[in-house]
Structure 1
Amino acid sequence: MKWRTRFAVLLAFLLSAPLMWSLNRLLVGELKVPVASGDASRLVPILSPDETSRLLTFARSCEGNEDCEAPLVCLRELKWKRACVASTCATDADCSGGLSCYSVAVGERVVRMCGAPGEVAEGAFCTELPRERNWACAPGLVCTHMSCRRPCQPQGSQGCPAGYFCSAADVKGHVCLPTCEGRACAEGERCVALDHGVSVCARVHGSDCQLNPCPVGQVCGVSAGKMQGQVWMKCELPCSKQAPSCPEGFSCIGETCRQRCRADEPGSCGPLETCAGASERSLGVCIFDFNK
């Protein structure tokens, strides 16, 4: 479910701001909190122009880290494209024009680059590719799992407030994540399970496949949009990049079969969906329309 959820949320953001980033500026997520202790080996280093000139894959398109020469990583760019990159900063002092130094997890690695200084509050939607302040977390918070979270220590004095738990460590350390287990939700909402042990009180749109299981062979896709307290669900066909098995008219995106569509063909997607990523030269795919 993790890739389906992250993919749908990311596409929703791209749909609302399709030209927010440029290909020559791979601005990334939050660096205010250091990488988890003992994980310095996961950091992608800063390379000099002479070093990058000797790497044939630098700035080249890629599908995964295996397509990039070490120590480069394959970072997602605009419109799902990826490129082999290295870090461009270590601290805010390395960034010009009032920008801040951020980090983004790429698999088990972390790459650092310059982006807009943040102002997004705890729990609000954020992106690890911030071009503007209103998409980046405020100082002291971490953009992880598409929301701004405060760091925590599960066995230390720095804990989480009521309604939160201290997550398992990832490449960005431990953070406080929400849980609604054991408490009542408002009328019209219920406690919905998301990824990473998170659960939130939310109104469900679409088919609530957590309560009503999907047919055999399908999986329950759960997507949380920018609006808090709202989730979208539907049964989906799983697939894999190594052996895609989607029916005709579908593409395997993020381990899920997504229906292909054209932006100029109304009704090509479901009633709660929109056609994302389509252009005059290529088809898009149907995703949940978080504005409906």
Structure 2
Amino acid sequence: MPSPPEAPQVSPMLLARQRTLLRTYHRECARATDCEAPLGCLGSARARKHFCTDSQCTQDVHCPEGLTCQPLPTVGGGPHVRYCVPQGVRKEGEPCIGLPPDQDSACAPGLACSAGWCGRPCLLDAPSSCPAGFFCADAPPGPMCRPTCEGRTCPKGQHCIQDGQGASVCAVVHGQNCQQSPCAEGRECLTTFSAKPQVEVWMACFPECGKSSPACPEGLVCDRAQCRKPCQPDTPHVCEPGYRCLRHSDAQPWLCRPDIQED
């Protein structure tokens, strides 16, 4: 009989004076090692950046009315951090944001955001604990139901697209469906889901880059192991249709990224 999965480490809720002793507290980060223990590198949708933080609550009573204390995963398998997040309106199987900026991108009461999808807790040894069209995924902060469209027929104009973490949904595809038509050698299929209830996905084949890969072709820059097109926000029509010149923090370059207007 397999052993149960190890419970994820959770960052404690530090005292104010303990936080002042940590030089990386609330500093921007890109990886787990950018943060001193016991901090985790947490992404914020509202601020469009990652920052080092401890837990801000341990239970719901520490949160203002309308918010609930939820454990959130951090970059690179770092410790989970407990944060007060809104109780939202997103239904089961709809996309969500782990640290949502508002109710519109948060899961409804009774559901939790697991790897970008709203779902209910489930039992790994009881598949029926998830409704039809879902499967029980073994992932922090605990087994959760995630959507699947495998073996199902999607509505006209949509395709069954995998998210790379086991889940799959029927979505409108922008760009090349590189899960259906694989990329050429040396290029990786990059899939970006929108955070809207009506699921859309941007797909493209990008050259790989990094230590074990060749340098990017002329005119492209390496960003997180992908060669992307650089741009300047004041230059019109520099990006292809469906893309916009964006950067998520001052430390990142301006690049053509999917034009996802989040609700």
For the criterion TM > 0.5, the same-fold answer is yes
Tell me, in whole angstroms, the C-alpha distance in 1 between the residues paired with 2:101 and 2:122. 27
Matched, 1:173 2:142: yes
1:71-82 to 2 correspondence within 5 Å?
A: 71-77=38-44, 80-82=48-50
Identity percentage of aligned residues? 39
Cα deviation for residue 111 of structure 1 reads 0.5
Matched, 1:203 2:172: yes
The letter for the 2-side match of 1:143 is C
The letter for the 2-side match of 1:152 is C
Tell me, in whole angstroms, the C-alpha distance in 2 between the residues paired with 1:281 and 1:65. 17
The one of 256, 259, 263 equivalent to 1:289 is: 259
CA-to-aligned-CA distance 1:57-100 (integer Å, 9 cap, x gap): 22233332212221112223466543321111011111235432
Match of 2:129 in 1: 159
Tell me, in whole angstroms, the C-alpha distance in 2 between the residues paired with 1:280 and 1:83. 13
Tell me, in whole angstroms, the C-alpha distance in 1 between the residues paired with 2:253 and 2:223. 13
The one of 167, 172, 181 equivalent to 1:212 is: 181
Most deviating of 86-95 and 181-190: 181-190
Match of 2:12 in 1: 45
Residues 83 and 105 of structure 1, relative CA distance in 2, 3 Å threshold: same
The one of 238, 254, 263 equivalent to 1:268 is: 238
Tell me, in whole angstroms, the C-alpha distance in 2 between the residues paired with 1:281 and 1:81. 10
Match of 2:33 in 1: 66
Tell me, in whole angstroms, the C-alpha distance in 1 between the residues paired with 2:214 and 2:111. 38
Match of 2:112 in 1: 142
Q: Does structure 2 conserve the Cα–Cα contact (< 8 Å) formed by 1:165 and 1:179?
A: yes
Number of residues of Structure 1 aligned to a counterpart in Structure 2: 254
Q: Does structure 2 conserve the Cα–Cα contact (< 8 Å) formed by 1:125 and 1:148?
A: yes
Residues 268 and 173 of structure 1, relative CA distance in 2, 3 Å threshold: same
The one of 49, 53, 70 equivalent to 1:102 is: 70
Match of 1:235 in 2: 205
Match of 1:121 in 2: 91
Whichever structure has more helix as a proportion of its residues is: 1
- Partner secondary structure for residue 195 of structure 1: coil
Q: What is the root-mean-square deviation in Å for CA atoms of aligned residues? A: 3.0
Residues 186 and 82 of structure 1, relative CA distance in 2, 3 Å threshold: closer
Q: Does structure 1 conserve the Cα–Cα contact (< 8 Å) formed by 2:127 and 2:136?
A: no
Match of 1:112 in 2: 82
Cα deviation for residue 136 of structure 1 reads 1.4
Tell me, in whole angstroms, the C-alpha distance in 2 between the residues paired with 1:161 and 1:274. 38
- Structure 1, unaligned stretches of length 5 or more? 1-35
CA-to-aligned-CA distance 1:3-26 (integer Å, 9 cap, x gap): xxxxxxxxxxxxxxxxxxxxxxxx
CA-to-aligned-CA distance 1:197-243 (integer Å, 9 cap, x gap): 22223333212222222222111122222253533221111234898
Match of 2:215 in 1: 245
CA-to-aligned-CA distance 1:106-125 (integer Å, 9 cap, x gap): 13221012233323221222
- Partner secondary structure for residue 202 of structure 2: strand
Cα deviation for residue 44 of structure 1 reads 0.5
Most deviating of 260-269 and 270-279: 270-279
Q: TM-score if structure 2 supplies the norm length?
A: 0.83
Residues 187 and 110 of structure 1, relative CA distance in 2, 3 Å threshold: same
Tell me, in whole angstroms, the C-alpha distance in 1 between the residues paired with 2:83 and 2:249. 29
Tell me, in whole angstroms, the C-alpha distance in 2 between the residues paired with 1:203 and 1:63. 30
The letter for the 1-side match of 2:32 is N
Name which structure has the greater RCO, CA cutoff 8 Å, separation 6+. 1
Match of 2:228 in 1: 258
Q: Does structure 2 conserve the Cα–Cα contact (< 8 Å) formed by 1:68 and 1:84?
A: yes
Q: Does structure 1 conserve the Cα–Cα contact (< 8 Å) formed by 2:171 and 2:200?
A: yes
Tell me, in whole angstroms, the C-alpha distance in 2 between the residues paired with 1:175 and 1:279. 31
- Structure 2, unaligned stretches of length 5 or more? none
Cα deviation for residue 165 of structure 1 reads 1.3
- Partner secondary structure for residue 246 of structure 1: coil
The letter for the 1-side match of 2:226 is T
Residues 184 and 249 of structure 1, relative CA distance in 2, 3 Å threshold: same
Tell me, in whole angstroms, the C-alpha distance in 2 between the residues paired with 1:76 and 1:157. 31
Tell me, in whole angstroms, the C-alpha distance in 1 between the residues paired with 2:212 and 2:57. 34
Q: Does structure 2 conserve the Cα–Cα contact (< 8 Å) formed by 1:220 and 1:233?
A: yes
